[in-house]
Every structure is written in structure tokens, then in C-alpha cells.
Amino acid sequence: MSLEKILSISGKPGLYELKAQTRGGFLAESLIDGKKISVSGRHNVSLLSEIAIYTLTEEVPLGKVFSKISEKENGGPAINHKSSKDQLEEYFFEVLPDYDEDRVYASDIKKVVQWYNLLQKNGVTEFTPEDNSEEE
């Protein structure tokens, strides 16, 4: 399972795996409890492979951030997303030292850590695409 099939759906907790396309949207399965839901076009949906984190010089794809967390934790879980704001920011600074503190909020860091732990718990360890060809 790659990040291309992992979704974040606004208003719904956790992450979802894209299972099938339907006429009015798609079918997704929760990574938290395995329940399948039907998602219509009116939901705000983000593919994790399309999300990036601001740094002082560029935007780093979420997959690369997850890979850096995985390296730091030797493939294990990260700190708890319910840790204090200061602990989360300190942790994220260790993972991505040049992240833009003005544009990346504590709530964003909390979500990244929570998502990483959920993916790691579900056995998703390939965070970057196999072919590292640059997009045009």
C-alpha cells in the first residue's frame, strides 16, 4: 500500500485507503477500524501523496517527512500526537530542521505524527514512490 491510495477526509477521523471508484465518488476503508464508507464528491479529500510541508527553502512531500521520521525511529512509532505543543515542535525540528515555523503550525505537526503512527501501525512503510523520477 502506497501513499497514492491513502486519503484524509475532512470531518472524518484518521486515514482511509481508497478501495474502489463509484459513480458518485468512491469507497474507502478506515485504517483505524477497517470500516468501509462511501465518500461523495462534496467531501474535501486529500491524497497523502499530494501533501507537502513548508520548509524555509522548499516544500517537502509528506512521504519524505514520513521517511525521515521512520529513519529517526528505526521504523518504529513516533512520539504520541497528544504530547505537548513544545514536545511536538522539538521532535519535528529534529526530523525536519528547516521547517517553516511561521507556516507549519503545532496542529499540522500533531496531524503528521498521528498519521505516521497510524500508517506505521498498519504496516505502511513505503512512504516515497519507487521511481524517483522528477515531475515535469
Helix/strand/coil (H, E, C) string of the chain?
A: CCHHHEEEECCCCCCEEEEEEECCEEEEEECCCCCEEEEECCCCEEEHHHCEEEECCCEEEHHHHHHHHHHHCCCCCCCCCCCCHHHHHHHHHHHCCCECCCCCCHHHHHHHHHHHHHHHHCCCCCCCCCCCCCCC
Residue 65 lies in a domain: yes
* pLDDT given at position 37: 94
* pLDDT given at position 130: 57
* pLDDT given at position 114: 96
Q: Based on the domain organization, do 44 and 69 belong to the same domain?
A: no
Q: Based on the domain organization, do 112 and 95 belong to the same domain?
A: yes
Q: Based on the domain organization, do 58 and 115 belong to the same domain?
A: yes
Q: Based on the domain organization, do 66 and 117 belong to the same domain?
A: yes
pTM, full prediction: 0.89
Domain residue limits at 101: 51-121
Residue 30 lies in a domain: yes
Ranges of residues in the chain whose predicted pLDDT is under 50: 131-136
**Count of domains forming the chain:** 2
Residue 131 lies in a domain: no
Residue 132 lies in a domain: no
* pLDDT given at position 128: 76
Q: Based on the domain organization, do 14 and 30 belong to the same domain?
A: yes
* pLDDT given at position 41: 81
Q: Based on the domain organization, do 41 and 57 belong to the same domain?
A: no
